Structure 1
Amino acid sequence: MLGSTRRSFTEEYRAQAVAFVLGEGRPVAEVARNIGVHEMTLRKWVRKARESGGSDDPADEGSTDSERVELARLRAENAELKMQVAFAKKVATWFAKDQR
């Protein structure tokens, strides 16, 4: 197909997106819209994470359930802050171009 590009996502990006859904209980559709991923793609990531029993992160081994929940929450918060920073950069760039 002409003009068709397949996007690839890092495991960290996928884990953070899944943490938004599983760690914070946000709807898949909302998270997918916010991070710019197709809803079905995010649903597949969430399903895979549930089937694998959560995280593949070696740092999670030996952690209590409350620590895993807190870690997922912090990862989701970190991902959201990164998205906010990226958005702020885009807005700043847009305003800078507009000022010329």
Structure 2
Amino acid sequence: MARPSKYPQELQERAVRLVIESRADYDSEYAAIKSISAKLGITSPESLRKWLRQAEVDGGVRPGKTSEDIAEIKALKKEVTELRRANEILKSASAFFAAELDRPSRF
């Protein structure tokens, strides 16, 4: 399981918005990312770059899985795991009870 981000969602959204709004003021997108991450106290510009890419995917600008798709896939994988575990328990229980029915009665 991934660890939660140490940056609040509001800061992430603000940083992404600032990069989008100020791209033209810098020589490159990376220069904007580096400058804004330093100003906002984000230790790694790579984190801001990833947030920006995910925001572009969510906005339909870039192809890829949206945040909603990722969350849905994660929930479905969890549900599949739980259902498989329940199936294994039911198989074991049915095998146990089937064996009980096959034994001759002692009385």
Q: Same fold (TM over 0.5)?
A: no
The structure that has the greater radius of gyration is: 2
TM-score, structure 2 normalization: 0.41
- Flag the structure with more relative contact order, 1 or 2, with Cα contacts below 8 A and sequence separation at least 6: 1
TM-score, structure 1 normalization: 0.43
